Structure 1
Amino acid sequence: MPEATGGRPVGSAELHLVDRERQDPWVADRARELMVSLWYPARRTRGCPRQPYMPAGVARSVDESGSFGLAGPGKVDWAGIRTEAARGAPADDRRRRPVVLHSPGLEVSRTLGTSTAIELASRGYVVVTVDHTYETPAVQFPGGRVEFQEPMSGTEDLKKVVETRVRDIRFVLDQLALVRRGPGPDARRGLPKGLDKALDLERVGMYGHSGGGATAAEAMRVDRRIDAGVNMDGTLQYDDSDFLPVAREGLDRPFMLMGKAGQTHLDKASWRSFWDHSTGWKRDLSLVGGQSLQLHGRPVVRTGPGRAPGPTRRAPRAVRRHGGPRTQHRRPTRLPRRLLRPAPAIAPPGPAGRPLVRPPGRAVRRLITHGTEGPRTREASGARCSPGKGGSPTAAAAIAFR
């Protein structure tokens, strides 16, 4: 995994959230359950274990399904990859931190947003990544239970997907408010020390890729707790003639559209409608030569010498800006060197039969979002890692709200 560039150490925790007032829309007679990861600036990380990139059950599912088309079954040990985040590390609660929610693409795991989440956390944000159960291919819950994707197709199911995702996000915000207020022992049970005090729910943003970007826009429409958002390459329509409500109504708060080459409000009808109806600050960026998954954090896997396979091997060279009543194009320029970061790569198996992690030979462009804080202050010492509940990576800091 690439190192974050923000300069702050990063901690991680996982929450098991249960909405007992809502029946799951995909599975009968079951309350809605979510798994959520939190990535945050840590006070210290010494002595804390590194957070796995994937829990074992999800890693097994990814491996059996072909590792995102990057490698065959048995070629990548996804569960063996470690992030730089320290599991259960005490949070830096010397000031409140803005909260950023992340919703992944349609039928995509929150895991693929890990690098961006850690980058933002290293720059001073608390990032909350959400898996939308039964739509995501595999979600692992405490105790090792894995829930898999349910069949869904057609426009009506797509509408149910968006509605469910928006309700998931609003529920997560509700539970974060409980954590912040701490009305009882359940609200903070198993959480890393100081994380409750670090949450600033007066400053909330949201971003997402593909279907997650559409979720961010629609969630902002119905919930004013979300102050700003980013849609990375997500369409805002159910079909050719049926737009999401947010595309018909627009937003009155800051929002950015970010698309692959050819995906702008100039040539996408739903984005054009959203743009024309939005009265708040807005920006439309497209990645020249870019593709959709480059906006999400798709990993790069190498099984031998040479370049990384497929379309991720070259860094897009320019970003175009589209905005205002008349089209404004910023002349394409090379991305600054500081925005080029190495992507994860998996080398051939080592002596123990497990893949070795090594940096690739070619950089892949990564989105960097700057934080809102001044210089980093000196780290304090003395705090220890929270053991969490259950002691396993997937159950670290797991809590169920009743």
Structure 2
Amino acid sequence: MRRLLALAAGLAVLTASACSTPAPPRSDAPRTKPPGPATLPAPTGPRPVGTTALHLTDTSRPDPWDPDVDARELKVTLWYPTRQRDGQRSPYMTAKEAELLLKGSGIATAPYDTLSKTRTNAVKDADPFGRKLPLVVLSPGFTKPMSTLTSLAEDLASRGYVVAGIDHTYESYATTLSDGRVAECLACDSDTDPGSHAALVQGRAADVSFVLDQLTAKWQHSELIDRKKIAMVGQSIGGAGAVAAMVKDPRIRAGIDMDGTTYARIPKSGLSRPFMFLGSQEHVPGGRDNSWDRDWKLLTGWKRWLVLSDAEHQSFTDIPLVADVLGLESLPGMMPAARGAELTRTYVAAFLNRHLKSQRQPLLDKPSSRYPEAKFCPAACAQS
């Protein structure tokens, strides 16, 4: 959840602040006609993917961002294996959500409904298939809707996971609620307040625990989920939220922080469950962000710290995959969008397969000639 600076030459994400409002791009560059709708890469697993959306209300606590709302409403998007290969593909986001996301990000290089036309791979409301599957909770970056992690979610579902992506209401530019209202980013007004980062991650931890309560006991397909095999993966502030959620909720067996500065403090006794940092060059030891250096010492169980050369903050999301249709070009030296998606999917799946499915994963034991971009920190990951 960093400042998005869309330069005239392309899309670059700098990591000056984890909760900053994106600055608008320059609009003086010549416009070219963008290509047709973006298409997300096909999932790599053997199963077709279904998806559905749930609207859940936590009546035990007020909304932390809207003082006039006495209950916390969340939108949860589920991806899961299905037998159904044909059917209507789920929309990436609505036209209104796309408009608010582009306006909030200061991107005016394409029609505001452009992202709503993005082609996904999951069949809308398909019947789930399976039983006792591992569950992965996904949490997006600040100001970003859950849809920006769709490529990763679809891939994990095709590999046999149930994936629950949480839209943390009022923390993104657009979240469509159960009655059709679109909640905008109230938290954006507080992102420079002292303690706002810590409040964000603690709020996300509470959201996650509530969602786990609902999915494992009250969801009509709760038999799909193996309650003993739950992990959380987050990008940016969502990654920081993974730390906070694991500290708070012992049901989460393993976690991944994708390029997020960590704000939740790990107890001095340490966090003994498996955890992986997966990030950009900013997160090398002794780099610009020292939160991983601090927390690495407090991770007392299985752990990995991987940095991808030429990655930037949004390389772990769908943003680079849709940049072309927005008329935004990658900067020289930036990791190609398809390669960023491949690396993210590969290393996230390897971690989850190891810790939720007990499958040996040599990829996580040493550098790979197939993926030379992945540097193992701290020992073999010098700052460049």
CA distance in 1, matches of 2:97, 2:282: 33
C-alpha distance in structure 2 between counterparts of 1:210 and 1:171, whole Å: 21
Determine if the alignment matches structure 1 residue 367 to structure 2 residue 367.
no
Q: Which amino acid letter does the alignment assign opposite residue 88 of structure 2?
A: P
Question: Alignment partner of 1:154: what SS?
Answer: coil
Cα distance change on mapping 1:203 and 1:265 into 2, 3 Å: farther
> Are 2:147 and 1:111 equivalent residues in the alignment?
yes
The normalised TM-score by structure 2 is: 0.73
User: Is it true that 1:210 corresponds to 2:236 in the alignment?
Assistant: yes
Question: Could you say which residue in structure 2 is the equivalent of 1:252?
Answer: 272
* SS state at 1:221 partner: helix
Instruction: Give a deviation string over 1:317-362, Cα, whole Å, max 9, x none.
Output: xxxxxxxxxxxxxxxxxxxxxxx9479xxxxxxxxxxxxxxxxxxx
Which residue matches 1:325?
Answer: none
The answer to whether residue 187 in structure 2 is matched with residue 166 in structure 1 is: no
The amino acid that maps onto 1:26 is: W
Find 2:284's aligned residue among 264, 267, 292. Answer: 264
Does the aligned pair in 1 maintain the 2:283–2:290 contact within 8 Å?
Answer: no
Letter of the 1:235 partner, please give it. T
TM-score by length of 1: 0.70
Query: Residue in 2 aligned with 1:136?
Result: 172
Deviation at 1:149, TM superposition (A): 0.8
AA paired with 1:196? Answer: S
How far apart are residue 197 of structure 1 and its match?
A: 2.1
Percent of aligned pairs sharing the same letter? 36
Displacement of 1:293 after TM fit?
Answer: 0.7
Residue in 1 that maps onto 2:335: 315
SS in 2 for 1:277: coil
Summarize the Cα distance change of 1:236–1:310 in structure 2 as closer, same or farther, 3 Å threshold: same
Q: How many residue pairs align between the two structures?
A: 307
- CA displacement at 1:366 relative to structure 2: 4.4
Higher RCO (Cα < 8 Å, 6 or more apart): 1
- Measure how far apart 1:160 and its partner are: 1.7
1:89 to 114, 117, 126: 126
Aligned mate of 2:181, from 138, 142, 145: 145
Q: Structure 1 residues 35 and 303, CA, compared in 2 at 3 Å: closer, same or farther?
A: closer
2:322 paired residue number: 300
Which structure 1 residue ranges, 5 or more long, are not aligned?
Answer: 180-186, 189-194, 238-243, 317-339, 344-362, 375-402
User: For the structure 1 residues 64 and 273, does the alpha-carbon distance in structure 2 shift closer, same or farther, using more than 3 Å as the test?
Assistant: closer
Query: Residue 276 of structure 1: CA displacement?
Result: 1.1
Q: Distance in 2 between matches of 1:271 and 1:171?
A: 27
The superposition leaves residues 106-149 of structure 1 with CA deviations (integer Å, 9 ceiling, x where unpaired) of: 22211111100001111111111111111111101234210111
In structure 2, the residue corresponding to 1:236 is in which secondary structure? Answer: coil
| Cross-structure match for 1:34 | 74
Asked if residue 276 in structure 1 is aligned to residue 276 in structure 2, the reply is no
Whether the aligned pair in 2 keeps the contact of 1:35 and 1:130 (CA below 8 Å) is yes
Distance in 2, Cα, partners of 1:312 & 1:296: 19
Calculate the aligned-residue CA RMSD, in Å. Answer: 2.6
2:27 corresponds to: none
Query: What's the CA shift for 1:248?
Result: 5.3
Structure number with larger C-alpha Rg = 1
Stretches of structure 2 that go unaligned for 5 or more consecutive residues are: 1-39, 359-384
- 1:59 is displaced (CA, Å) by 1.8
Measured after TM superposition, the shift of residue 314 of structure 1 is: 4.6
Question: Cα deviation per residue 1:48-98 (whole Å; 9 max; x = unaligned)?
Answer: 3110011233122124446x74x52516522222311001111112x3210
Give, in whole Å, the separation in 1 of the partners of 2:282 and 2:213. Answer: 37
Give the drift of 1:365.
5.2
Counterpart mapping for 1:322-401 below 5 A: 341=338, 366-368=344-346, 369-370=349-350, 372=353
Change (3 A) 1:145 1:257: same
Following TM superposition, by how much is the alpha carbon of 1:165 offset from its aligned partner in structure 2, in angstroms?
Answer: 0.9
Cα distance in 2 for residues equivalent to 1:215 and 1:366: 18
Aligned: 1:220 with 2:257: no
Structure 1 pair 146–264 and aligned structure 2 pair: CA distance change class (3 A): same
* AA matched with 1:163: Q
Give the structure with the larger strand fraction: 1
Rounded to whole Å, the distance in 2 between the matches of 1:286 and 1:197 is 37
Q: 1:140 to 1:261 in 2, by over 3 A?
A: same
Distance (Å, rounded) in 1 between the aligned partners of 2:161 and 2:55: 21
**Paired residue type of 1:217:** V
User: Matched residues in 2 for 1:249 and 1:284: separation?
Assistant: 20
Q: Distance in 2 between matches of 1:314 and 1:245?
A: 32
CA contact (8 A) 1:247 1:271 kept: no
Residues 1:175 and 2:209 are matched in the alignment: no
CA positional deviation for 1:169: 0.6
4+ residue runs over 6 A deviation: none
Which residue number in structure 1 is paired with residue 59 of structure 2?
20
